Amino acid sequence: MSEVYARLLNAGWFRLILIAAATAPLLGGCGMFGGEEVEEDTPAELIDFKPALKIKKVWSAKIGDSSEFQRLALTPASDGSRVFAAAVDGKVAAFDAVTGKKIWRVKTKLALSAGPSVNGHIVVLGSSDGDLIALNARDGQELWRITVSSEVLAPPALTDTDVFVTTVDGKLSAFNLLDGEESWVVVQSVPRLSVRGTGSPVVVRNKVVCGFDNGKVAAYQADNGAMLWEVLLHPPSGRTEVDRLADINSTVSIVGSDLYAVGYQGRLAALALESGQILWARDVSSYSGVSADTSNVYVAGAQGEVIALSRGAGREVWRREILRFRDITRPTPFGRSVVVGDFEGYLHWFSAANGVLQARKRAGSDRISSAPLVVNDMLYVLTDGGKLFAFKEVTRKRGG
Do residues 241 and 324 share a domain?
yes
Do residues 19 and 59 share a domain?
no
User: Which pLDDT score, from 0 to 100, does residue 247 have?
Assistant: 64
User: Which pLDDT score, from 0 to 100, does residue 194 have?
Assistant: 59
Banded pLDDT at 242 (limits 50, 70, 90): low
Do residues 168 and 107 share a domain?
yes
Q: Output the CA torsion 313→316→318→321 (10° steps).
A: 140
Over range 150-179, report the average pLDDT: 96
User: Which pLDDT score, from 0 to 100, does residue 240 have?
Assistant: 67
User: Which pLDDT score, from 0 to 100, does residue 225 have?
Assistant: 98
Do residues 102 and 159 share a domain?
yes
User: Which pLDDT score, from 0 to 100, does residue 91 have?
Assistant: 98
Q: What is the pLDDT of residues 197-226, one digit of tens each?
A: 678 999 998 999 999 888 899 999 999 999
Do residues 107 and 37 share a domain?
no
- Burial environment of residue 30 by CB neighbours within 10 A (0 to 12, 13 to 18, 19 or more): exposed
Which range has highest mean pLDDT (182-186, 189-193, 284-288)? 182-186
**Does 79 have pLDDT greater than 70?**
yes
Q: Output the CA torsion 206→334→60→320 (10° steps).
A: 110
Do residues 270 and 149 share a domain?
yes
Lowest mean pLDDT among 104-108, 143-147, 238-242, 303-307: 238-242
**Sheet-wide strand order for 332-334:** 332-334, 337-341, 346-351, 357-362
Q: What is the pLDDT of residues 292-308, one digit of tens each?
A: 999 999 999 989 999 99
Which range has highest mean pLDDT (2-16, 235-249, 269-283)? 269-283
User: Which pLDDT score, from 0 to 100, does residue 15 have?
Assistant: 40
Do residues 115 and 7 share a domain?
no
Do residues 169 and 317 share a domain?
yes
Do residues 53 and 17 share a domain?
no
CA angle 100, 106, 111 (to 5 degrees): 110
**Does 248 have pLDDT greater than 90?**
no
Do residues 152 and 37 share a domain?
no
Quickly count: other Cβ atoms within 10 Å of residue 11's Cβ: 18
Over range 138-154, report the average pLDDT: 97
Q: What is the pLDDT of residues 320-375, one digit of tens each?
A: 999 999 999 999 999 999 999 999 999 999 999 999 999 999 999 999 999 999 99
Do residues 25 and 46 share a domain?
no
**Does 68 have pLDDT greater than 80?**
no
CATH code for the domain of 173: 2.130.10.10
Cα 8 to Cα 28, 39, 74, 76: the distances in Å are: 13, 9, 21, 27
Contact 223, 256 (CB under 8 A): no
- Total domains in the chain come to 2
Do residues 219 and 175 share a domain?
yes
Range of the domain at 18: 1-41
Mean pLDDT score across all residues of the chain? 87
